[in-house]
Structure 1
Amino acid sequence: RAKRTSLRVLGTVGEPINPEAWRWYFEVVGDKRCPVVDTWWQTETAGHMLTPLPGVGPQVPGSATRPFFGVEPVLLDDKGNELQGEAAGLLCIRNAWPSAMRTVYGDHKRYETTYFAPCKGFYFSGDGAKRDADGNFWITGRVDDVINVSGHRIGTAEVESALV
């Protein structure tokens, strides 16, 4: 067993981490003392977009929590309407941020089609998310990784979380 006394903070990126895995990571790897920074970002965003701030904001197992400084996430329905309060929908970003990419090299049309055409006036991440009553964001996975079960659209991340 390795000593982990020098650990001060734990990070997780990539796919959403479910609450059970988050708790294990915090309790076992972090010895119940290291905050877990579970971020949401993309290569295209070039920086954290949703992230907890240890010692400042809440630690919410399984949630990427709140927007980073200057980032304005919004949830849209399938028709492009902005959803308020507790909701689930397409995760988009309202305004540009300092590290926002400006184009796809050699293919500006693809840049516009991929990131801005699906949700007019917003950066379209391609991910789904939920916002809880406290304003925390929960990434549900890629919107193109969806299983249709009896008319209910279920993200593969939700299925994976249920199996853990």
Structure 2
Amino acid sequence: PGIFAEVIDEEGNKKDEGEDGLLCITKPWPSMIRGIWGNDERYIESYFSQARKDGKAVYFSGDGAFYDKNGYITITGRTDDVVNVAGHRIGTAEIESAIAKHPSVAESAVVSILDAIKGESLFAFVVLSPASSCDLGGAIETLKELNDILRVEIGPIAKIEKILYTPGLPKTRSGKIMRRILRTIARGEEIKQDISTLEDSGVVETIVKLAKAEFE
């Protein structure tokens, strides 16, 4: 009671029955959080940067959801944290934790890309460790080795389809990796998110150039 929640896309269009979307609260309510002490930028970035409706930013809960046949909302989980591969829901943190066991991997971020057969597949952005000396052949071999690790740690459904080696990852000043931006890049879409609040906004341009050179 008192909360008007909707399942919409990033442009504010209401999703149809069974379609995954963003769980947003599109009208203010009495107990609505009004800010984060001493950090207005983080407040806007965390809650009002993902979706808009009628040209205005709306509160995004951080969860994915869908309408069932009766019109009730079913929550599917955190949008940044779950990938649906052929009906199997896989946590990105679990994948990143597994591939971190490879000695050449210093840091990684895994997002979903659209797949005509599986619905979604895995795209990994990987920062190599300083000790790594991967050339093209070594990079291909590293991808095979990462998938070998995933097969053992998680199962054969967890397979990285595409990988991009980058010098860094887009992070907020608090250290959070902005997977929404990486997902946009991985899918070849135009970046509409605000990158001015990132710790190093230049890394986004670098990753975009690398992705275009690698996949276009």
Provide the TM-score with structure 1 as the length reference: 0.46
Flag the structure with larger Rg. Answer: 2
* Higher helix content, 1 or 2: 2
Provide the TM-score with structure 2 as the length reference: 0.36
